[in-house]
Amino acid sequence: MIDHNPAADGASGIDGRRVLIAAVRDGFTDTQHRILFQQELPGGWVVVHRRMTHTGDAFGFAAKGNPVDITGTDIVRVVAGKITEIYHVEELLKLTQQISTGAQPA
């Protein structure tokens, strides 16, 4: 599995994705994912709107229990039922601002 835009200190492969998923799972609870758009093309498109509550230490920020709203776009290539490549974009600046300042999502 190739992650075409991993975190700055993250690995591109499946191990890097596992670390990222563990960090999100451990740092955020009551996560809701709503799919706003999904179209199956060669590779597929998925746009996900997420609402998460920051309740644990995550990404270097101590837990404050602030609600966090971000959107993200994933473009994946699926071969034989497995994701083999992923391109993704998240609102990381918005996430960082909401976690660090406690600013309420708009």
Identify the three-state secondary structure at position 15. Answer: helix
How confident is the prediction for the chain on average, in pLDDT?
A: 77
On whether residue 93 sits in a domain, the answer given is yes
Instruction: Tell me what pLDDT residue 87 has.
Output: 86
Predicted local distance difference test score (pLDDT) of residue 10: 74
Q: What is the pLDDT of residues 23-75, one digit of tens each?
A: 888 887 777 777 777 777 765 656 666 677 777 777 777 777 777 888 878 88
pLDDT at residue 45 in the model:
59
Q: What is the CA radius of gyration of the chain?
A: 14
Taking the C-alpha atoms of residue 2 and residue 52, their distance in angstroms, rounded to an integer, is 26
What does the pLDDT average to over 64-88? Answer: 81
- Count of domains for the chain: 1
Q: 15 lies in a domain? A: yes
CATH at residue 54 = 3.10.450.50
Residue 106 lies in a domain: no
Domain that holds residue 69: 2-101
